[in-house]
Amino acid sequence: MLGQLPNAVALASVYTLFTLGLTLCWGVLNVLNLAHGALFAASAFLAYRLTQVVPGIPLWALLPIMAVGIGLLSALVQVLVFAPIRARGAGEHDVEMRTLIAGVTVAAAITTVGAILTEHQPFALPREALEVTTFDVLGAPVTNVQVLLLVAAVVLACGLLGYVRYTRDGRALRAVAVDRRAARLMGIPVRRLEVQALALSGALAGVAGLFFALYLGAGDAHMGDTLLLKAFAIVILAGVGSLGGAVVFAFVLAFVEAYVGYYAGADLRDVAAFALIIVMLLVRPTGLFPRAIGQRA
d(CA 123, CA 179): 44
Query: pTM for the whole thing?
Result: 0.89
With respect to residue 249, please indicate whether it lies within any of the assigned structural domains. no
With respect to residue 228, please indicate whether it lies within any of the assigned structural domains. no
Residue 38's pLDDT is what? 95
With respect to residue 273, please indicate whether it lies within any of the assigned structural domains. no
Residue 265's pLDDT is what? 76
Mean pLDDT in runs of 10 for the chain (297 residues)?
A: 79 92 80 90 93 89 94 94 84 82 94 91 87 80 90 93 90 84 87 92 94 89 88 80 82 86 78 80 71 42
Q: Provide DSSP, 29-69.
A: H----TTHHHHHHHHHHHHHHHHHHSTT--HHHHHHHHHHH
With respect to residue 43, please indicate whether it lies within any of the assigned structural domains. yes
Residue 296's pLDDT is what? 36
Give me the number of domains the chain comprises: 1
Residue 138's pLDDT is what? 74
With respect to residue 272, please indicate whether it lies within any of the assigned structural domains. no
With respect to residue 71, please indicate whether it lies within any of the assigned structural domains. yes
Residue 292's pLDDT is what? 47
With respect to residue 280, please indicate whether it lies within any of the assigned structural domains. no
Residue 35's pLDDT is what? 93
With respect to residue 282, please indicate whether it lies within any of the assigned structural domains. no
Q: Domain span at residue 78?
A: 19-222
